[in-house]
Structure 1
Amino acid sequence: MVRTAIDRHVGRVSLVRVFSGTLRPEQIVHVSGHGLADRGHPDHDADERVAHIYSPLGATLREVPYCVAGDICAITKSGSAETGDTVSARDEPLLIAPWEMPEPQLPVAVVARSRSDEDALARNLARLVTGDPTMRLERNPETHQLVLWCMGEAHADVVLDRLRAGGVELDTEPVRVALRETFAAASKGHGRHVKQSGGHGQYAVCDIEVEPLPTGAGFEFHERVVGGAVPHNYIPSVEKGVRAQLERGLLSGHPVVDVRVTLVDGKAHSVDSSDAAFQAAGALALREAAEKGQVSLLEPVDDVTVRVPDGYVGSVMSDMSGRRGRVLGTEPDSAGGATLVRAEVPATELVRYAVELRSMTSGAGTFRRAFARYEPVPAHLTNELRTAHPGPTS
């Protein structure tokens, strides 16, 4: 499958190059696509009937009786065919190794201007992703942004122009990076949720201690309540309230990680206490602990490998330092004539790196990135990053 596009009038149009045999109308074929699941193209296998075969000539399609080896033809209305798929005989299914597609590294966040445009945006994006394996579509569950990963500015401009040509009114917005928060030191919090509005009220009081844990340790909840100050059946309610507040964040709306919370004391009422009241008290106690203690902002750090011609190594390494990156080393590329620069760089510094690296190396540099871990943000940059990358609940 050379390319698949979706025409608004004809539907799905797939250009097929025949490597062996003859493709004929009304023939049942096997369509197979594997190896691009990370780009939003799930692996798939399906048997389909080829209704008609066309010879493309510019923007027109001329129907032909068959297509022989060496020719390129077009088939329409396939239900599953995507760019890079293999079309083979149903009784002898084959799979040609998928093309080596470059990884898109330039994120562009798009948002529909109105609710009426949201459906049109979803339809048009589905069409573009079907025909363009160099583009990746991501709905970030943490920042709640719809992000298109493109090859570069020219690619992004083409994608946005096609979306607008399809009748979609949209805007772009700055890409936000998913940050984290954590406690930098131990703290204590007191949560009191007491309301009386006639009839049964709400009554719950709890005291907690919060301690930081090592990076990647996650969340722990313990209790050291003495004498039944908090009834046993309400202790899970406190934990539930604390967990909910950790997800919502404390100072900037980013999730809180790597902490241990211990319930040490509290009070309950025989009539007015409830599960909901102790959930609210747990959340209030955690917020007070954050106000009294030290909450640090964490940012994701990526492992980055940059491939550049030898003459640009110095410029790339100097630029990495300016991005708060740590250069881990360099080594010759096995293909020759280039050098691999390995570094660890905060993800907030890489949002536009695809464009800037291309400019720095006259288009000759490429890079790969992979998440490594979260690290504390330098104190002098905390407010700047909180403003530039707000959490979804801030």
Structure 2
Amino acid sequence: MAVRADSGQRAGAGSSRVPAVADPARVRNVVLVGPSGSGKTTLVEALLAHTGAITRQGTVLDGTTVCDHDPAAVRQQRSVALSVAPLLHEDIKINLIDTPGYGDFVGELRAGLRAADAALFVISAAEGHEGTIDPATVEQWEECAAVGMPRAVVIARCDHARAALEATTAACQDAFGTGVIPLYLPIRADDGGLTGLYGLLSQTPQDAAPEGAADARAALIEGIIEQSEDETLMERYLDGEQIDVATLTADLEKAVARGSFHPVIPACAHSRIGLDALLELVIGGFPSPLGHPLPSVSGVDGAEHPVLTADPSGPLAAEVVRTSADAYVGRVSLVRVFSGTLRPDATVHVSGHLPAQRTADARGGADGHDTDERLAHVYSPLGATLREVDGCIAGDICALTKLGTAETGDTVSASDHPLLLQPWDLPDPLLPVAVVARSRGDEDALVKTLSRLVAADPTLRLERNSETHQTVLWCMGEAHADVVLSRLRAGGAEVDTEPVKVPMRVTLARAGRVTGRHVKQSGGHGQYAVCHIEFEPLPRGAGFEFESKVVGGAVPTQFIPSVEKGIRAQLERGLAAGGETAHPVVDVRARLVDGKAHSVDSSDAAFQTAGALALREAAEACGTTLLEPLDEVTVRIPDEHLGSVLGDLSSRRGRVLGTDVAGAGRTLVRAEVPATELVRYAVDLRAMTSGTATFSRGFARYEGAPASLGS
């Protein structure tokens, strides 16, 4: 049975061949990485068609499209969402994991890296005309290197009118390092068109060696030998010995699996040139789940647990790498199984987040949760189509439906042996977007849709600010924000955006003595409280201090705490500073020095009111100073952008605290910047540095704000 996860339509039973394996050694999980427009999705569809997983590019065997029928929707879906497409080649199941190429969706990229055991970097052959690789693509390469991911480079779109295969290969070598070496050279017709590939190791086809093949082959062999674990191989080669192709191939495959050698293969999706070579590399050079390190694991109580292995009979440990919602099938969880086997009708345990994160979940989702849920079916995903299978073994990827509590990043384990996988690192969303329901009727839809989006997207953080009374979505960038807003509206919530408000503070401008007087006589029991209080501002960050210097019982002892309570309540309610908006008051000392009470009409409530009135009187008499939050910002940038970034920080009233070397060609800048100047910084920094810079921010303290902010 096949289910259309994006449209709610069922396809006929047995609508396409579902690859099935029983041994993790016969699985390859490969993530496709590269910039938008490089040809990743087209290459995936070409490989599916080439191996018979679909009848032609863009379709499954029953004619249902892999993605949505609307071309515009297809482009948007492909550009922002991770998807999985399995194929079978030489009895090896290859799960192709297509990831977005735009920087805002780095969360989807990291989810793809988590689910994969190797990466194919897809670079368009048209890149060669620029002479360099896009800096954002180099960032993606470094993302892969940071997690030790084996990588190969595919030069795609070789039939493009502006294709420059050789120049693109050279650009990849400059950008990615000396470990990037071609395995094949293009064979061209007289008109320059690509007709095939020449294998540098096999030297086939023998009668079609392109110009420069001998030098390229020598460079390849030297690169392989340099990475070989056989220390005598280089000496034998330098002595003139001809190293046999079988030895070189075996060493190449080992070096690729170790992540120290990155072969380059040209490929053309439409003519299918290079697809067989690419599949051969994936099967022979990329590691199976048995050869790739697995995430660390603990018990749900934090207890240590033995290291996992990709054993189908081991303890069940799987992870939700992506979550989506569909009106027909409900919540769809894309799951990578690391250990054990997922079977239909089993009861599983869903665990969310590490114990240390349970009270303050940095990813913006729900607090830590542990629940048992019963599975119905297990599916093999092919794009948006779900095909029912009998189970999913360690090392494989599957889809589960209607796991009501599962969020992206959650662990799925056995109910009688619950586990928790160490979550993967995710960047902090740093672009705030304030949303408001267009009408009262949209408020319920907004709340429901937001909860689904936050559960599905770990790079989206939801903040309901009690001071500004705004609902703020923290996003990765403008493109991410656009997608989130689109999904909110698709969920039935009509929303508008409004300027993000930054919470301010006020303090007293100078010291002074005031009287808080609350006296009411209106028949019956009256209210009487008078307190004389000296107020003074304190240094930034000192908070609130209260002391009593009352002598002679002018204010009865039992009412002194009431005065403090009233002042504290007014501190939280806030005072206005040059405008109509009230802000909480900080860094003030209040000294109760005198007062009056009535034997009948004085009460706790009366002295609370008098204390609050005294603070308001102090604001009138002493004046107030508006304080703005100051954030400590750390920016990691390529050296060529250092000057523009420093100048921009200065224009934002920032103070540079220092700079440090942050690796080859990169600098780490530390600065203090007012939070009001950082609302759009995620967007502006990306524009300034072509997406190559990253930054983090954290609250430092409050400081006096310009008078213009209080107006």
When normalised by structure 2's length, the TM-score is 0.51
After superposition, residues 180-195 of structure 1 pair within 5 angstroms as 180-195=505-520
Residues 1:162 and 2:481 are matched in the alignment: no
Residues 1:232 and 2:557 are matched in the alignment: yes
SS in structure 2 at match of 1:2: strand
Residue 151 of structure 1 and its aligned partner are, at CA, apart by 0.1
After superposition, residues 352-371 of structure 1 pair within 5 angstroms as 352-371=680-699
Equivalent position to 1:306, from 632, 635, 643: 635
Residue 69 of structure 1 and its aligned partner are, at CA, apart by 4.6
Equivalent position to 1:341, from 664, 669, 694: 669
> In 1, Cα distance between the equivalents of 2:414 and 2:531?
69
> In 2, Cα distance between the equivalents of 1:113 and 1:105?
25
- Which stretch of the first structure deviates more once superposed, 339-348 or 217-226? 217-226
After superposition, residues 168-179 of structure 1 pair within 5 angstroms as 168-179=493-504
Equivalent position to 2:531, from 203, 206, 210: 206
Equivalent position to 1:25, from 325, 328, 344: 344
Residues 1:5 and 2:334 are matched in the alignment: no
Aligned length: 382
Alpha-carbon spacing, 1:192–1:88, altered in 2? closer, same or farther (3 Å): closer
- Equivalent residue number for residue 240 of structure 2: none
1:183-237 Cα deviation digits (max 9, x unpaired): 2321111122222222222222221100222222221212222332222222222
Residue 6 of structure 1 and its aligned partner are, at CA, apart by 2.3
- Which stretch of the first structure deviates more once superposed, 280-289 or 312-321? 280-289
> In 2, Cα distance between the equivalents of 1:5 and 1:312?
38
1:54-82 Cα deviation digits (max 9, x unpaired): 22344443222223455432111113322
Residue 88 of structure 1 and its aligned partner are, at CA, apart by 3.7
Alpha-carbon spacing, 1:284–1:14, altered in 2? closer, same or farther (3 Å): same
Alpha-carbon spacing, 1:286–1:93, altered in 2? closer, same or farther (3 Å): closer
Residue 264 of structure 1 and its aligned partner are, at CA, apart by 1.5
Q: Is the 8 A contact 1:212 1:260 kept in 2?
A: yes
When normalised by structure 1's length, the TM-score is 0.90
> In 2, Cα distance between the equivalents of 1:246 and 1:48?
47
After superposition, residues 324-335 of structure 1 pair within 5 angstroms as 324-334=653-663
1:108-133 Cα deviation digits (max 9, x unpaired): 11122233322211110110011101
* Unmatched segments (≥5 aa) in structure 1: 388-394
- Equivalent residue number for residue 471 of structure 2: 146
Q: Is the 8 A contact 1:111 1:173 kept in 2?
A: yes
Residue 106 of structure 1 and its aligned partner are, at CA, apart by 0.2
Alpha-carbon spacing, 1:91–1:204, altered in 2? closer, same or farther (3 Å): closer
Alpha-carbon spacing, 1:9–1:234, altered in 2? closer, same or farther (3 Å): same
Amino acid at match of 2:329: V
1:293-317 Cα deviation digits (max 9, x unpaired): 1321111111111111110000101
> In 2, Cα distance between the equivalents of 1:361 and 1:56?
37
Q: Is the 8 A contact 1:307 1:338 kept in 2?
A: yes
Alpha-carbon spacing, 1:30–1:279, altered in 2? closer, same or farther (3 Å): closer
Q: Is the 8 A contact 1:39 1:137 kept in 2?
A: no
Amino acid at match of 2:485: L
- Equivalent residue number for residue 710 of structure 2: 386
> In 1, Cα distance between the equivalents of 2:695 and 2:637?
9
- Equivalent residue number for residue 392 of structure 1: none
The structure with more strand, counted as a fraction of residues? 1
Equivalent position to 1:287, from 611, 616, 622: 616
Residues 1:77 and 2:396 are matched in the alignment: no
Amino acid at match of 2:679: V
- Equivalent residue number for residue 391 of structure 1: none
Residue 20 of structure 1 and its aligned partner are, at CA, apart by 4.8
> In 2, Cα distance between the equivalents of 1:266 and 1:44?
53
Q: Is the 8 A contact 1:185 1:294 kept in 2?
A: yes
The structure with more helix, counted as a fraction of residues? 2
> In 1, Cα distance between the equivalents of 2:525 and 2:374?
67
Q: Is the 8 A contact 1:32 1:44 kept in 2?
A: yes
> In 2, Cα distance between the equivalents of 1:45 and 1:228?
57
Q: Is the 8 A contact 1:189 1:288 kept in 2?
A: yes
Residues 1:243 and 2:568 are matched in the alignment: yes
Alpha-carbon spacing, 1:231–1:91, altered in 2? closer, same or farther (3 Å): closer
- Which stretch of the first structure deviates more once superposed, 155-164 or 260-269? 260-269
> In 1, Cα distance between the equivalents of 2:340 and 2:622?
73
- Which stretch of the first structure deviates more once superposed, 253-262 or 26-35? 26-35
Residues 1:351 and 2:679 are matched in the alignment: yes
Residue 250 of structure 1 and its aligned partner are, at CA, apart by 2.0
Alpha-carbon spacing, 1:220–1:24, altered in 2? closer, same or farther (3 Å): same
- Equivalent residue number for residue 376 of structure 1: 704
1:275-300 Cα deviation digits (max 9, x unpaired): 22222222222111111113211111
- Equivalent residue number for residue 116 of structure 2: none
1:243-301 Cα deviation digits (max 9, x unpaired): 11111112241111121111112222233322222222222221111111132111111
> In 1, Cα distance between the equivalents of 2:622 and 2:472?
35
- Which stretch of the first structure deviates more once superposed, 187-196 or 361-370? 187-196
> In 2, Cα distance between the equivalents of 1:241 and 1:89?
54
SS in structure 1 at match of 2:576: coil
After superposition, residues 210-221 of structure 1 pair within 5 angstroms as 210-221=535-546
Q: Is the 8 A contact 1:189 1:287 kept in 2?
A: no
Q: Is the 8 A contact 1:187 1:290 kept in 2?
A: no
> In 2, Cα distance between the equivalents of 1:62 and 1:155?
30
> In 2, Cα distance between the equivalents of 1:85 and 1:203?
59
> In 2, Cα distance between the equivalents of 1:370 and 1:45?
30
Residue 93 of structure 1 and its aligned partner are, at CA, apart by 4.9
| Cα-Cα RMSD | 2.0
SS in structure 2 at match of 1:217: coil
- Equivalent residue number for residue 422 of structure 2: 97
